[in-house]
Structure 1
């Protein structure tokens, strides 16, 4: 069983791993981390637990792969939107694209939320607020505004707003996260990117 780990996976193995990541994402979204047993993942994929373990050494490994896949897709989406927006509008693009992605990918959202609440403190807080604070600093600099504000707290507040919007949408699907994101962007522009900020 260990010999296949030292070589490049075949196309069939790559496809099976991708399928298992997809299935695991769905299982976590529907049953939470605790309910995402190897048996449930294997059953949803239509294979045996041994077949899952052929591709991933443990439940934690396949769950970690699902989380990393969801996070990578989110980062790619938000990064593309931020880059397309330009420096001055990057913070607004960050908020809009984050909410848009999480609204459109509820299974990925559940995986990310589950992983963040069950990570045992592995993620450093700056990984969450740092990129947005950097975007705010660059936007203020591009507008010729002061950059010595407490952008850490500003990013935490905006990030918390994003989290709250998504949580509300997950709990109440009729809640409009796009309208909420626009309100958050409006507040961001008025307070954080104004001459007096």
Structure 2
């Protein structure tokens, strides 16, 4: 029999609870994107969602936990889309190109999320005042990219190079692409992504 509680010891959330949390996160994204991190109070987010502040407090311990949930959900949605696209291709070059293009294609319809993430990354701090997010929280992304590069080196598609240097460089280039597009929405994100994919294909190939 399955335990009543999850492995973490927390009782599994109901469909209604999950739907409410998703609603709160969506409103948080919109408020942060429109008003900025500092102005995105729980009261303002609650008003946007059409609920009371108490409802948010029931689901989240505070603003910090809500901001972390925003980041987790945005990344998961993007990852689900990108992985689904990557499953359709073979070879390291195809995986590399799809990773870049699919990320851009997904975020093309979620500009508010990009803006909200930027605000959270710049402003959210830990209890000791250090940034909550940054290079130190990007290890999973670096390792995923390294696995693509390593595959290419193993199959002979890619030249020999430092996996971590290339992974950090690609992650930074993609971050810059999204930051620029968020600031200039008229910028052709699709064309930028294709140029970026071309650039790293040339950098990696023998």
Query: TM-score band, normalised by the shorter chain?
Result: 0.7 to 0.9
- Pairwise CA RMSD: 2.2
TM-score using structure 1 length: 0.84
Alignment of 1:181-196 (within 5 A): 181-193=193-205, 195=206
Distance 1:55 1:130 in 2: 32
1:134 corresponds in structure 2 to 147
1:144 shift after superposition: 5.3
1:91 shift after superposition: 0.8
Q: Is the 8 A contact 1:90 1:139 kept in 2?
A: no
Do the aligned partners of residues 113 and 85 (structure 1) sit closer, same or farther apart at CA in structure 2, a change above 3 Å counting? farther
Pairing partner for 2:41 from 20, 37, 41:
37
1:27 shift after superposition: 1.3
Do the aligned partners of residues 10 and 182 (structure 1) sit closer, same or farther apart at CA in structure 2, a change above 3 Å counting? closer
1:127 shift after superposition: 2.8
Distance 1:25 1:162 in 2: 21
1:17 shift after superposition: 1.8
1:77 corresponds in structure 2 to 81
2:166 corresponds in structure 1 to 154
Is the aligned partner of 1:48 residue 2:48?
Answer: no
Structure 2: gaps of 5 or more residues: 1-8, 126-130
1:145 shift after superposition: 4.7
Distance 1:59 1:51 in 2: 13
Provide, for residues 172-191 of structure 1, a one-character-per-residue CA deviation record: whole Å limited to 9, x for no partner: 11111111111111121222
Alignment of 1:49-128 (within 5 A): 49-88=53-92, 89-117=94-122, 118=124, 120-122=131-133, 123-128=136-141
Structure richer in helix, relative to its length: 1
Structure 1: gaps of 5 or more residues: none
1:92 shift after superposition: 0.8
Distance 2:13 2:179 in 1: 38
